[in-house]
Amino acid sequence: MKQNIAIVAGGDSSELVVSLKSAEGIYSFIDKVKYNLYIVLLIKEQWVVRMADDLLIPIDKNDFSFEHESKRVNFDFAYITIHGTPGENGLLQGYFEMIGLPYSSCNVLVSALTFNKYFCNHYLKGFGVRVSDSIRLMRGETVQTEPTVQSLALPLFVKPNVGGSSFGVTKVKTADQLQPAIAHAFAEGDEVMIERCIVGTEITCGCYQSKEKVVVFPLTEVVTDNEFFDYDAKYNGQVEEITPARLSESITTAVQALTAKIYKLLGAKGIIRIDYIIEADGIPTMIEINTTPGMTATSFIPQQIRAAGLNIQDVMTDIIENELNNQTIA
C-alpha cells in the first residue's frame, strides 16, 4: 500500500510565499508512484489539505489526519517546508513528536538552536567554527550608535535574529542608518542581531544524511550586484549562481568537511544548507544555517544535487525511508 506524505507549507511569517513555492518544488521531486502526496497548508489558525481541484479540507489537529469522501486519511510522513515559524523553529517538530508522526527536518532542539542565529553562532564558535562578531538586542533594548559602530565597524548588517529569506535585513553603511535599520528588523520579530560585515566570496553548501553517511553536495557561489544577497537576489533573479563554485580544490574540500562537521555537531536531520563567506585568507566564516532550505526547481539544493550527479527523486526517497525505518526500529 502506498504511504501518505504530507508536504507541509505555509507558516506565520513573511516567508509564506517562499514556502508555497518550495512545496510545489518538493511535490514535483517526490516519487508519485511510491507515495501519495498531499500539500498541507498551515497558515495561522487554518490547517487544510489542498486537493487537486483546489478544495480545502480541514486537518484534524488531534492527529493530523483529514476526512475525504467519507474516508479518514492518516499521514505516514510529513515533509516540512515552512520557512520561518512554526516549521523552522521547533514548534511544528514538537507537535509531530507528540503525535508520533515522522518528519523530514531537524528535531526540536536543533531547529530552535539554528533558528536563533546569535545562539547558534556562539554554540558553534565553541567548536572552532569561525563566525562574525555580533550583538543581540531583545525588543525594548537599545544600543548607542557610536559605540556600536566603533565596536563592529562599518559597513555592518542588521537583521532579525530569527527568520530568513532576507526579510528585515539592512546593510548599514553610515552611522545614521543604524537606528532605522534596527527598527526595520524589529518589525519582523522580537530579536535583532547587529553583525560585523564579512567581505569575501559568498558560497553555500547543502548536505543530508543518507543510509550510510553524511552526503555533502558541491558548493554554489553566489554573485550579485545588489548590496547583499537580499530577497530580490534570492527570488527575483538578481543573482548569478555558479555550481560548482569557482574555488580551489583545497578550499572546496575544507568547506565540505566543515559542513559535514557542523551537521554532526548539531545532530542534524534531513537536508540542511549552510551559508559561508570565504575571506581573503581562504578560511570560511559561517553566516547562517538553513534547516528547511528553499526547494524550488531553481533553488540551491536542487542545483547542487544535479551537480553532484544525483537524482533528486532518489534523495527525497532516501530522506523519507531513512526516517520511516528509524521510526520502525525505535
Average pLDDT by stretches of 10, the chain with 330 residues? 96 88 97 97 94 92 96 98 93 98 97 95 97 95 96 94 76 96 92 94 96 94 70 58 96 98 97 96 95 93 97 97 72
On whether both 83 and 149 belong to a single domain, the answer is no
183 Cβ contact partners less than 8 Å away, ≥ 6 residues apart: none
Query: Would you call 193 helix, strand, or coil by DSSP?
Result: strand
Placement of cell 500539500 in the chain: 39
Q: What is the DSSP letter of 103?
A: B
Q: What is the DSSP letter of 79?
A: E
- C-alpha grid cell, residue 222: 553566489
On whether both 256 and 118 belong to a single domain, the answer is yes
pLDDT of residue 86: 94
On whether both 221 and 323 belong to a single domain, the answer is yes
CATH of the domain at 116: 3.30.470.20
- C-alpha grid cell, residue 145: 550608535
- C-alpha grid cell, residue 130: 569561525
| R_g over Cα of the chain | 20
Range of 15's domain?
3-105
On whether both 209 and 184 belong to a single domain, the answer is no
On whether both 290 and 173 belong to a single domain, the answer is no
On whether both 23 and 76 belong to a single domain, the answer is yes
pLDDT of residue 322: 92
pLDDT of residue 227: 61
Distance CA 34, CA 276 (A): 36
- C-alpha grid cell, residue 253: 574540500
Distance CA 66, CA 74 (A): 7
On whether both 117 and 249 belong to a single domain, the answer is yes
pLDDT of residue 57: 97
On whether both 304 and 321 belong to a single domain, the answer is yes
Last residue within a domain, chosen from 196, 222, 249:
196
On whether both 82 and 231 belong to a single domain, the answer is no
Q: pTM (2 decimals)?
A: 0.90
Please state the domain count of the chain.
3
- C-alpha grid cell, residue 307: 551537480
On whether both 154 and 267 belong to a single domain, the answer is no
pLDDT of residue 329: 37
Alpha carbon distances (Å) from 75 to 14, 64, 65, 99, 214: 27, 7, 7, 11, 27
Q: Residues in the chain, how many?
A: 330
pLDDT of residue 246: 95
Residue pair 27/2 in contact (Cβ under 8 Å)? The answer is no
